[in-house]
Structure 1
Amino acid sequence: MPPLLDQDASPKPDAPRADDTYLKIASHLAGHLDIRSALEAVVAEIGRIIEVDHVDVCLLDEDEAWCASYEVGYQTHWSRERTRVSTSPVRTILSGETAWMLTDDALSDERYVFPSSNSGPILEFNLRSRINVAMKVMGRTIGVLSCSACRKARYSRGNVTAIAHVADVLAPYFHALQVSERARQAAIRRAESIAREEGLRQGALELTSAMEQERQRIGMDLHDQTLADLTRLMREVEADDRRLSPDMIVARLSDAVNDLRRIIDEAVPTLLDMFGFAHAVRIHLERATAGTGIVIQVEDEAHQAIDRLGATTRTALFRIVQEAVNNAARHSQGSRIVVTIAEAQGRVGVTIEDDGRGMAEPPGETSGRSGQGGLVHMQTRARLIAADFAVESKQGTRVTVNLPLAAKPRGTSPEMPA
């Protein structure tokens, strides 16, 4: 790659006056709102002072343990990822041990290339001649301005002084841009945090409403079915109805008991506690698809990993699976439902898939239909246990929820309602 400016020596005898160059550099900075574009705007003027193939600015992070780089010339990994100060080729300047560095050949200079140093770009692009000077604001080092040439021995002590003046011009402007960017990122994080909290608040309200509806459903089930059956049986017994044999009474009482067991199992997942997550899911699948002809399958590839989670988290996961299975059984019009439990890289996940018609509306767009309302409740439950939740609806529907094995519910106690 040719130099940024084609010059044979540094500086040239006919180089412009230094004061004019510094004024031009200051004027070029005006209007640039990010560090990289500001650096691109001034590099031509730097090239009028010395021969350069590569210019980079390295700025300290707030914790001063890491630094971020911006470069013009060669594009290297310096500007793609942060560097730990202890491994930086300019660590002595960043740490305040020295104000500048000068070398005729960085490739053989142990200050730049040392064990564990992040000096790959120096070696890869043959950045031999280098000047590095501290960028300071109010006496504090905020970063380093570095100029490099591929040829050896291109710089002198006089060049160091000139580039130090350039650094003095750039430092306050770049520092202001860096502070502005930090403030912008902090504002984004605050906005995201507020949005998450509002989402959780709204989700908790919706979940409370859903729980109230569930209590009403249980009450209606008890009133309209179990209690009605028992009341009818009691009246027939009191009337001494001779048509009732002991076997008939036992059979009807057995039906009522089974109805109660069903209601209890749906309200409190005792199967989950007694037999584990995978077995409870399998039992629910069988009940949800009874009489439909839907083929069901449960694959536990996590070796009961979910059973090692806390009770609240485990129950919330089970409720999500219940809702997803119910939606698939009632609305998908598919012929198969598969639930897969898997563990990988310290995370455990559950996937519920069907081969049905898919969702009529894109995930996330609610219309008040029961299936979509169930989706909102699943999303809320997932957020409350810090789980990732996703829905894909193409050829059938695929619901995925996963979380770290060490996950804890957000802002909840073990008594959080499931």
Structure 2
Amino acid sequence: MQRPSIQAEDVLHHFLGISRALAGQLDFQSMIEAISREVCFILPHDHLDVSLLLHGGQHLHAFETGLHTSWGDFAELSMPTAHSPIRAVLLGEVAFLLSGDAMNDPRFAFPEAFNRPIFNAQLRSRLHVPLRARGEIIGALSCSKHAAHFYTLDDVRHTQHIADLLASYLYALRQTEQATKLAVAEERLRAREEGLRLGASRLTDTLENERQRIGMDLHDQTLADLTRLHRRLARLRKQGSLSGDDLQPVCDGLQESMQELRGIIDAVKPTVLQLFGLEEGLEDLLLRSVHNSGLRIRTKLQDHSGGAANRLAEAQQIALLRIIQEAVNNAIKHARPRAIRIDIRAEGGQLALSVTDDGVGLGEAGARETGGIGNMRIRAQLLGARLELGPGSGGRGTCVSVSLPQHALASVPAEEVPLP
């Protein structure tokens, strides 16, 4: 195809135009769109794209203008460099690629080559040159036309000049973007660490209050009962009367004290969970909580996870049980429900446990985020889980759900999860 020649002065003018177009462009997509018009005077094209190498050259991002193709999807995602149809340029195996008809060029048709856009957009004439900065290839500049045999060796020289002009800017933009992402990641990490530190501090205070409560229960209830029984036995010994009828109240009192002590011990460390797993521990918790309330509440527990919850580390199981315990106790205390159910599910990469009741709903208590809800949020945060509160089925009652990514189930050692 005969093309009108372009004068050297015009080439220089448009090179300067490219430099002006680059000024102030802070992202790759805006940059390539800004330079496309100036490039078109030197290198007419129907499609222009820039490929930038990532991760030591193993992957790349692609930014395009003109025609939109599926290569443009790799502006957000990344393509393995080995699948790029221009990998020979990106890997430095050739100085450039010039094709008169890429749709019939075997260089673009190797196994696993992502070359569909060439055929879908009918990009016959193709020209590719490397982008070099600091002595290394950082990507490639590509021009394409629908017409076959459009580009010549003279165009290769012009394209390489444009690539050299762009490379330093693209390198600086890439370094800036990576530094920005790193700074954002570090800031998020600091924020997360600070949140965990504050959460751990609040949980420590809560646990200290719980220890004090347990101490008071032991002092005011169990110790007082044992002292009373000791005095009764001492009085019976002085009287010289130790018949069966006299000892029966003492035996009954000891039985009650032992039962109360077992309740306190179970509250500190759930033995059913340790012996039989989280599912049995949750069912025991649900039954005991309802029984101790004296209320008539229907209960149900269903495990749809195939036993996934029982495969958690013990510390993770205990942390989840404490969250569910708080949710059940809140429902019994505040919601006046007729039924409470616990569901365990493993789907969408998440292990989720939910407590649903048919009571009065969250109301103002939920809006205020009471201490119990706050404690649940802290425990979930320290576990790396997500806690959600909302209405139950059909908008009635309350549903409390805690979900943990399944990839974290095996990756978080027990000693890293704070024991309540």
Normalising by the residue count of structure 2, what TM-score does the alignment of the two structures yield? 0.88
Matched, 1:260 2:258: no
Q: Which residue of 14, 17, 25 corresponds with 1:21?
A: 14
Per-residue CA shift, 1:79-111, capped at 9, x if unaligned? 322111111011011111122111111111121
CA distance in 2, matches of 1:362, 1:403: 29
Q: Distance in 2 between matches of 1:35 and 1:318?
A: 49
Measured after TM superposition, the shift of residue 295 of structure 1 is 2.1
Please list, as runs of the form range in 1=range in 2, the aligned pairs for 1:76-95 lying within 5 A after superposition: 76-80=69-73, 81-95=77-91
Deviations 1:50-84 (A, max 9, x none): 32111100001142100101110222332322111
Using the TM superposition, give the Cα deviation of residue 245 of structure 1 relative to its aligned residue in structure 2, in angstroms.
3.6
> Paired residue for 2:388?
391
Map residues 157-306 of structure 1 onto 2, 5 A cutoff: 157-240=153-236, 245-290=246-291, 291-306=294-309
Q: Look up the SS of the partner of 2:57 in the other structure.
A: coil
Deviation for aligned residue 1:416 = 5.0
Q: Give the structure 2 partner of residue 96 of structure 1.
A: 92
Quick one: structure 1 residues 340 and 171, their matched pair in 2 at CA, closer, same or farther if it must change by over 3 Å?
Answer: same
CA distance in 1 between partners of 2:4 and 2:364 (Å): 68
Q: Which amino acid aligns with 1:407?
A: L
- Describe the shift of the 1:406–1:29 C-alpha distance in structure 2 as closer, same or farther (beyond 3 A): closer
Q: Which residue of the partner structure matches residue 45 of structure 1?
A: 38
User: SS where residue 82 of structure 2 aligns?
Assistant: helix
Q: Distance in 2 between matches of 1:63 and 1:293?
A: 65
Alignment check: 8 A CA contact 1:384 1:410 kept: no
- SS of 2:219's equivalent in the other structure is helix
Q: State the secondary structure of the residue aligned to 1:63.
A: helix
- Secondary structure (helix, strand or coil) at the match of 1:378 reads helix
Aligned counterpart for 1:407 among listed residues 404, 409, 418: 409
Secondary structure, counterpart of 1:292 in structure 2: coil
2:131 pairs with 1:128:
no
TM-score by length of 1: 0.89
Would you say the 8 A contact 2:351–2:405 is kept in 1?
yes
The corresponding residue for 1:378 is 376
Q: Find the aligned partners of 1:83 and 1:173 in 2 and give their Cα distance.
A: 22
**Partner residue, 2:27:** 34
1:325 equivalent among 323, 328, 331: 328
Distance in 1, Cα, partners of 2:416 & 2:129: 57
- CA offsets 1:225-268 (integer angstroms, 9 cap, x no match): 22222222333343349997433222222111111111111111
Does the CA-based 8 Å contact 1:312-1:409 persist in structure 2?
no
Change (3 A) 1:361 1:141: farther
Task: Return the offset for 1:409.
Answer: 7.5
Measured on the aligned residues, the alpha-carbon RMSD in Å equals 2.6
**Separation in 2 of the partners of 1:42 and 1:280?**
65
Distance in 2 between residues matched to 1:22 and 1:66, nearest whole Å: 30
Deviation at 1:344, TM superposition (A): 4.0
Count of matched residue pairs: 405
More helix by share: 2
DSSP 3-state at the match of 1:356: coil
Which stretches in structure 1 are left out of the alignment for 5+ residues? 1-7
- Checking the alignment, whether the CA contact within 8 Å between 1:311 and 1:414 is kept in structure 2 is no
Q: Which amino acid aligns with 1:94?
A: L
SS, match of residue 52 in structure 2: strand
The answer to whether the 8 A contact 2:383-2:417 is kept is no
SS of corresponding position for 1:36 = helix
Instruction: Please name the residue that 2:313 is paired with.
Output: 310
Q: Distance in 1 between matches of 2:176 and 2:150?
A: 36
1:104-115 paired onto structure 2 within 5 Å: 104-115=100-111
Mapped to 1, the partners of 2:233 and 2:344 lie a distance apart of 50
1:5 alignment partner in structure 2: none
CA contact (8 A) 1:128 1:151 kept: yes
Distance, in Å, in 1 between the alignment partners of 2:378 and 2:272 is: 23
Deviation at 1:159, TM superposition (A): 1.1
**Structure 1 pair 412–125 and aligned structure 2 pair: CA distance change class (3 A):** same
SS in 1 for 2:42: coil
Q: Distance in 1 between matches of 2:412 and 2:372?
A: 21
User: Secondary structure of the equivalent of 1:48?
Assistant: helix
What does residue 66 of structure 2 align with?
73
* In 1: Cα distance, 2:248 partner to 2:122 partner: 96
